[in-house]
Amino acid sequence: MNGGGGSEREAEVLAALAELDRIERARNHRIGMLDARRTLRAVAERARTEHGFELGLGGLVEGRDLVLRAWSGTLHTTLHDLRIPLGLGVGGRVAAVGSAVVVRDYYRSSRITHDFDQQVGSEAVTGMIGLPIGTGPARGVLYGAIRGSGQIGDSAIDGLTRLAHLATLAVDVADGAATLADAAVTGERRRIAAELHDGVGAMLFGLGSSVRDLRADTAQHPELADRLRRLERELGDAAATLRASVARLHHDRPAGPDSTASDGDRLAADLAETLRDFERRTGTPATFVPIGPAPRLDAARAALLRRTVAEGLLNVEKHARADSVAVTLTHDRNRLGLAVIDDGPGPEPNGKPLSRWGSAPHAPATGAGLPALRAQYERLGGTVHLHSDEDGTTLRGELPLPAPPA
């Protein structure tokens, strides 16, 4: 048994854990710089001071509720941190359907439920508009409200719409940064898991084998044999604990202790790692650009998106002569889009779109190639296209998102 080797392996694992801690702290700092609540506070204030509303509110979707986290111009605290179940009131309806709701006469409106009339009444509100924030399922709602006998004019609605658009950009950037940071944390966790499995796990296995061999030679020494049996059990317990730790490193979601990993979370980590490997192997700069949070996916869609990226990168490597590559991942309420974009001339340098799949002189050697990829997209109700012109080549796939759980 080599004690020095074990010490070196322990030092490597401790260094990896320290690096994971650094990445998680950097993640929290980056997300803090793009905090959605700060954005809400800013746009709620601008709604009141720049666009004629007497009251500005901002809410974030937290679980099954919209929670009012920002306010400007309130007379009382009854609306502060108010929890609104999705579907109820103005904001709950906006968050549920993902589109604007304008209520010019709040108390007589039949478009909304009136579960919060008491809280709204304490602010003497007469008219209100709510707009969704975030690409895809609403991440929040921006409100503008008036008091008295006035009306919400078209210019005020246009101004609030622009603010909601700015808030959406900020929230999408924050969510994209969170997705990238989570992908980095997940990648580091996987690397540590591999280190533990291949290093410490192998070392424990070797120690266990040595102990068993020693115990076989101590039949004439009962006391020593008993001590070796206890040591063997302890090594077995340590190995079981190690396996459980490795499993947690593989499957825990870094975004929070009360949430579970999804295929969308793992997909983002896989795509980021795939692009890092591509850049190391080819020397071509490659960037992963997620817009918004990682989507909730089933295993079939996640696997197809991984294959799309692999196919696109193989095309780049074989044909593109590109200076850079980017992979984008976006989604709205119903559909998800992924694109592999490069700035090279592509497999058909005459600048025409590739209308026939796999018809390039040197088709990619990935099984059936692009025709099989298209067939998989069609089976899931999606589409995929490859387009090449003088500016580069784009492989773009779109898929309907799976229905959310009831």
pLDDT digits (tens, 9 = 90+) for 166-197: 888 777 776 666 666 666 656 656 666 666 65
Question: Comparing 48-57, 158-167, 211-220, 332-341, which segment has the lowest mean pLDDT?
Answer: 211-220
Instruction: Count the residues in the chain.
Output: 406
pLDDT score of 306 more than 70: yes
* pLDDT band with cut points at 50, 70 and 90 for residue 305: very high
What pTM, to 2 d.p., does this model score? 0.52
Give 254 or 251, the one with higher predicted confidence: 251
Q: What is the mean pLDDT of residues 153-170?
A: 89
* pLDDT band with cut points at 50, 70 and 90 for residue 405: low
Q: Quote the CATH superfamily of domain 263-400.
A: Histidine kinase-like ATPase, C-terminal domain (3.30.565.10)
What the block records as the tokens of 186 is: 């997940």
In the prediction, which pLDDT does 378 show? 92
Give 335 or 54, the one with higher predicted confidence: 54
- CATH fold of 34-152, please? Beta-Lactamase (3.30.450)
In the prediction, which pLDDT does 257 show? 35
**Residue in the structure block whose two tokens are 């063997």:** 232
Mean residue pLDDT of the chain comes to: 77
Span(s) in the chain for CATH 3.30.565.10: 263-400
Phi, psi for 260 (deg, rounded to 5): -110, 155
Q: What is the mean pLDDT of residues 13-27?
A: 62
Q: What is the DSSP string of 274-287?
A: HHHHHHHHH---EE
* pLDDT band with cut points at 50, 70 and 90 for residue 381: very high
In the prediction, which pLDDT does 57 show? 96
Other C-beta atoms closer than 10 Å to the C-beta of 222 total 9
Q: What is the mean pLDDT of residues 13-39?
A: 62
First-to-last alpha carbon distance for the chain, in angstroms, is 56
Amino acid residing at 208:
G
* pLDDT band with cut points at 50, 70 and 90 for residue 221: confident
In the prediction, which pLDDT does 343 show? 87
pLDDT score of 64 more than 80: yes
Q: Are 76 and 122 in contact (CB under 8 A)?
A: yes
Span(s) in the chain for CATH 3.30.450.40: 34-152
